[in-house]
Amino acid sequence: MLRDLDPTRPQVILELGSGTGPLTEMISRRMHPESTFLSVEVDKELYEIAAARCPNTDIAHASVEFLPDLLADRNLDQVDLFLSCLPTPSLPQPINKVVFETWKRMSTNGVFTQITQIPWWFMPLYKRAFRTVTMDLVMLNPPPGGVYHCSDLYEDFDSAVRLPGKAAA
């Protein structure tokens, strides 16, 4: 998940779904001291655990649907490393669209990293959006999982076209 985290230079890092904070904690420890890091967790109990585990980290207790406001409140116009621990392609379409729109905020060398429990299944989705897509298989995960690494978003990517996820109620 953290292969694109660069401790030698400042980065703007965004994590969706901090859960209890294991990845959040690793990011906080490894990132450059001048990096900016925002993690977002919707579940109150998980948020409280992550916040206690990582007291010096900016963890927002909020839904991803408020991501544009969270980024604006922090004056974050670009994201260098965008990590998602959420089932992004399976989210309800309105929330999914917010994630897809946030891809457009990635810096020129920005990377979107997505954990998955269904290796290869969403490869076509990511290849429609990004020029460069790789997937690392994680065999130690039962069942085997994977991590997508996506970069170089197509300029004409339209987040409204063929969105996966559940339709809004």
pLDDT tens figures, 9-43: 999 999 999 999 999 999 999 999 999 999 999 99
Record the pTM: 0.91
- Asked whether residue 51 carries a pLDDT value surpassing 60, the answer given is yes
- Are the C-beta atoms of residues 1 and 136 closer than 8 Å to each other? no
Q: How confident is the model at residue 166 (pLDDT cuts 50, 70, 90)?
A: low
CATH number at 104 reads: 3.40.50.150
Number of domains making up the chain = 1
Answer yes or no: is 3 within a domain.
no
Domain span at residue 88? 12-153
Answer yes or no: is 111 within a domain.
yes
Answer yes or no: is 122 within a domain.
yes
Answer yes or no: is 20 within a domain.
yes
**CA distances (Å), origin 59, targets 49, 113, 128, 132, 149:** 11, 18, 31, 29, 23
- Asked whether residue 169 carries a pLDDT value surpassing 70, the answer given is no
Answer yes or no: is 162 within a domain.
no
Answer yes or no: is 23 within a domain.
yes
- Asked whether residue 66 carries a pLDDT value surpassing 70, the answer given is yes
Q: Residue 37: phi, psi to the nearest 5?
A: -135, 125
- Are the C-beta atoms of residues 120 and 52 closer than 8 Å to each other? no
Q: Is the dihedral of CA 51, 34, 84, 79 positive or negative?
A: positive
C-alpha span between 136 and 149 (Å, rounded):
8
- Asked whether residue 4 carries a pLDDT value surpassing 80, the answer given is yes
pLDDT recorded at residue 150: 97
Low-confidence winner among 7-16, 63-72, 86-95 (lowest mean pLDDT): 86-95
pLDDT recorded at residue 167: 53
